[in-house]
Chain A
Amino acid sequence: MSVSSPTAAVGSFTQAAFDAHLAKVSHLPAWWLDRKRAAYERFAVAPMPKRTNEGWRFSNLAALTLDGFNPAPAACPFAQMDHHELGVTGAGHLVFANNRLVASQPLAAEAAKQGIIFDTLQNALLKHGDLVRAHLLTQPSKLGSDKFAALHEAFLEDGAFIHVPKGVTAPLPVGVFHYACGDGTAVFPHTLVIAEDNAKITVADFFRTGSGASPAPRAFACGGNDLYAGHGASVTYVAMQDWSRETLSFQFNATLARRDARVLSLNLHAGARQARHESFSQLAAPGAHSEMLALTVAHGTQEFDQRTLQIHQAPNTSSNLLYKNALLDQAKTIFSGLIVVDADAQKTDAYQSNRNLMLSDDAEAHSLPGLEIQANDVRCTHGATSARIDREQEFYLESRGIKPAQAQELLVFGFFEEVLGKIEHQELHDTLTDIIREKFRA
């Protein structure tokens, strides 16, 4: 291990910065503070990713600097933000800016009466410590970002906690908004979703930069989410990553699905200069199903780096991964996915597909699909395609008087609809469609 330049390994996230952070959260339970200390150690000694590391193939490593960020950004008042609602009437929401809660709308009385908890992680650590301890960041980092995942745990200040008790169906989705304001700001968002047996919930995370300031502020975002679905539970999780175009972004997902549970996660990627997303789904018991979906609109010189792992640990489990990217300009996407089927996970049904729509000749899409199968009676398929807009389809639309730019937009939405159409909640579907439309025009 190279220790020649300690600043290169920790950048702005020095021991002193960590100590200052710990002092701010010293009221939280000791076990959590201990875990954070251990995480900081792991972060500080782990080397930065190297060219030879298979988990970072095709990634732009030169731009992965941790220097020049502000680990303790000043508070940012709600009024300064250009806040958009979830678009679902009556839905609860939490709004964080620079790692602190700045606004919230509690759950409707009906949902609260059923015992659903929707609160900040800090409050949950204080009031529901055992639940948090059992589920927060308990899964290993397996996709290459152990250093950054440790950094996330070390500096995680606050986030959202959602707990749905046994047999309860949340009547409405809930929304969590994370804003980063100011130049150099470092944020560490986290959303923890626990759906107990036969519970049902939809959660939407939004990641945005405070205002449309120009030039775009430089930020560092290092976030995560844990999705836990108990027996027969159903979790729908949507995340919209829309940080400023000068942001270095990491997102880590860990999904755990128990017997007959169903988890659907949809990640929309539009923001950041360089964004790495790692998604890890464990199908832990028979009948578990994970739907892993992603849509990317890649502009300019943006790089979206997506790494996924679907592990089938029990028989009769299924997973379905569909990642679709629309690439413009000189944008670059990387998809690397692995399906692992354990020896006793017979009758696994696993699917993995990465589809790239190339809207520019200068864009670059890399696909690295993979399978690792130990069981013999399984059905696993994977594939990757890259295609341009179909000229006949384009001509068909234009021959009806639709202008070329709009024809292209319709075709991109047609390409995305296979994924967007899986969001059953109509208002949420429309909100996401509007956001992507806006992104596509930007």
Chain B
Amino acid sequence: MSQLEIKDLHISIGEKSIVKGFNLTIKPGEVHAIMGPNGTGKSTLAKAIAGHPDYTITSGDVLLDGQSVLAMEPDERARTGLFLAFQYPSEIPGVSIANFLRAAVQARMAEGEELDATAYYKRLYTKMDMLKIDRKFTARAVNDGFSGGEKKRCEILQMAMLEPKIALMDETDSGLDIDALRIVAEGVNAIRAGAQPPGILLITHYQRLLDYIVPDFVHVMYAGRIVKSGDKHLALELEAKGYDWVKKEFAAATAS
């Protein structure tokens, strides 16, 4: 089981500084929820950790099991065990889910090792059944013409297939109807119940998701850093009161 350490991370897009001193350690198997107003840098944080080329890490470090991932290319980071469930997954016309996932699984095998196609499809269908995704989807192009909810389910399908050590889940609940939310949450909980549960960073705007995927910690992100941390009750408080009081506390603290 693995641990992710994010140390005093600063991230810029071009000249613009977005994440400013973000610190967090996710111990093995823990679920950390991150909440925060729009535009505060949550997706920036997740994508930069995954290695998106638009984002520059200006200082700080990200360690997976004590090893910095910052010098690695995005594909290496993924093979090392990082997984990002995107807020807005890309549509890839012409590339079927089956071929895409097979390429991702194959990329994790040793040179010269052959993929057992029967076993692969068996595993894929089991995970699809768990997430109540029609098996016909394997022939469809990745996210192409998918509804918002189908895209999010497809992200979790990938997470289930690739068995990451650390999963960064960016608003996986947005776009899901109530039934789909339950199905996706059950899928994530099934992954958590496995022998090697991943550490999870769960970005969300809605407390509702946290009823299903119960977090060990809840953090509020504002102006590029964590400004408040607590347990699951903090999410309920935010739901009731909004972010104004957090912003005020933060303004008072930084003014003094």
| Cβ-closest chain B residue relative to A390 | B90
* Pair B95/A402 contact, Cβ less than 8 Å: no
* Pair B94/A414 contact, Cβ less than 8 Å: yes
Q: B74, B77, B94, B107: which contacts A416 (Cβ < 8 A)?
A: B94
* Pair A414/B92 contact, Cβ less than 8 Å: yes
A396 to B78, CA, bound (A): 11
Cβ of A89 within 8 Å of any chain B Cβ, yes or no, is no
* Pair B90/A398 contact, Cβ less than 8 Å: no
- B interface size (C-beta, 8 A): 30
Cβ of B187 within 8 Å of any chain A Cβ, yes or no, is no
A397 to B106, CA, bound (A): 13
- B 86-99 to A, binary, CB cutoff 8 A, 1 in contact else 0: 10011111110001
* Pair A401/B75 contact, Cβ less than 8 Å: yes
Most buried by B among A391, A395, A418: A395
Cβ of A392 within 8 Å of any chain B Cβ, yes or no, is yes
* Pair A400/B78 contact, Cβ less than 8 Å: yes
Q: A395, A401, A421: which contacts B53 (Cβ < 8 A)?
A: A395
* Pair B93/A399 contact, Cβ less than 8 Å: no
* Pair B141/A401 contact, Cβ less than 8 Å: no
* Pair A395/B74 contact, Cβ less than 8 Å: yes
Cβ of B100 within 8 Å of any chain A Cβ, yes or no, is yes
Cβ of B162 within 8 Å of any chain A Cβ, yes or no, is yes
* Pair A401/B104 contact, Cβ less than 8 Å: yes
* Pair A403/B86 contact, Cβ less than 8 Å: no
Interface residue tally of chain A, by bracket?
20 to 34
Interface of B is mostly: mixed
* Pair B75/A402 contact, Cβ less than 8 Å: yes
Contact residues in A for B83 (Cβ distance below 8 Å): 399
Cβ of B123 within 8 Å of any chain A Cβ, yes or no, is no
Count A-B contacts at CB 8 Å: 84
Cβ of B132 within 8 Å of any chain A Cβ, yes or no, is no
* Pair A415/B75 contact, Cβ less than 8 Å: no
* Pair B75/A393 contact, Cβ less than 8 Å: no
Cβ of A413 within 8 Å of any chain B Cβ, yes or no, is yes
- B 227-246 to A, binary, CB cutoff 8 A, 1 in contact else 0: 00000000000000000000
| Cβ-closest chain A residue relative to B91 | A393
* Pair B86/A396 contact, Cβ less than 8 Å: yes
Cβ of B50 within 8 Å of any chain A Cβ, yes or no, is yes
Q: A391, A399, A414, A416: which contacts B78 (Cβ < 8 A)?
A: A399
- The 10 A-B pairs of least Cβ separation, nearest first, read A414-B94, A417-B94, A401-B78, A396-B90, A414-B95, A400-B104, A398-B75, A401-B79, A398-B74, A401-B107
**B residues within 8 Å of A by Cβ?**
50-53, 73-75, 77-79, 83-84, 86, 89-95, 99-100, 103-104, 107-108, 141-142, 158, 162
Q: List 16 A-B contacts (CB under 8 A).
A: A391-B53, A395-B52, A395-B53, A395-B74, A397-B100, A399-B52, A399-B77, A399-B83, A401-B107, A401-B108, A414-B93, A415-B94, A417-B94, A417-B95, A417-B141, A418-B94
